[in-house]
């Protein structure tokens, strides 16, 4: 089933410009620290790849499925690490809240959140990212890792689909 786009919301150029800015901010904040990036699968993989290329401090990257946090299968090496969760979008914040609680139990040195998109109006639990690429409204979006039925992740921009 082919999905049509209603409109482009954020251009590829704007995304790449903002990622460079986020990379500089994160670099400054983590200077001299042992940074561990936790990419939340699946949607964040493209954002994470571009972001880490713009962070100029030593770092490691690991991947986390929201399902992993439900089964307490988080690795022990999170203890005493400076962790940056990288998320594609914060909508209601419910899933991210569970992830943060699970990671916090592992006693990291610090825990911050970076998201490409933040739907401030939709957040139900007060989750506020430390780094946000773009603030958007309530619209459903696809592209740059975000999907509609596993389609449209490959788009290099953010768009509103006709669904």
- Give the residue from 160, 98, 102 showing the smallest Cα distance to 124: 98
User: Which residues have a Cβ under 8 Å from the Cβ of 94 and sit 6 or more positions away?
Assistant: 124, 125
Q: Return the number of other C-beta atoms located less than 10 Å from residue 137's C-beta.
A: 11
How far apart are alpha carbons 161 and 4 in whole angstroms? 6
User: Among this protein's residues, is 82 annotated catalytic?
Assistant: no
Residue of 34, 50, 91, 147 marked active site: 91
Q: Return the number of other C-beta atoms located less than 10 Å from residue 54's C-beta.
A: 16
What amino acid positions are annotated as catalytic residues? 91
């Amino acid at each position: 089933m082919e999905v049509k786009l209603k409109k482009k919301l954020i251009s590829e150029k704007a995304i790449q410009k903002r990622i460079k800015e986020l990379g500089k901010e994160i670099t400054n904040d983590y200077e001299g620290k042992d940074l561990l990036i936790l990419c939340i699968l699946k949607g964040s993989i493209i954002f994470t790849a571009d972001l880490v290329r713009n962070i100029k401090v030593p770092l490691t990257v690991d991947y986390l499925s929201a399902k992993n946090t439900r089964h307490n299968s988080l690795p022990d090496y999170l203890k005493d690490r400076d962790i940056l969760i990288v998320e594609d979008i914060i909508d209601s914040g419910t899933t991210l809240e569970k992830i943060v609680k699970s990671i916090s139990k592992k006693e990291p040195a610090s825990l911050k959140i970076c998201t490409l998109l933040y739907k401030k109006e939709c957040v139900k639990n007060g989750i506020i990212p430390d780094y946000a690429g773009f603030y958007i409204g309530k619209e459903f979006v696809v592209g740059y890792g975000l999907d509609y039925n596993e389609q449209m992740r490959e788009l290099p921009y953010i768009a509103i689909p006709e669904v």
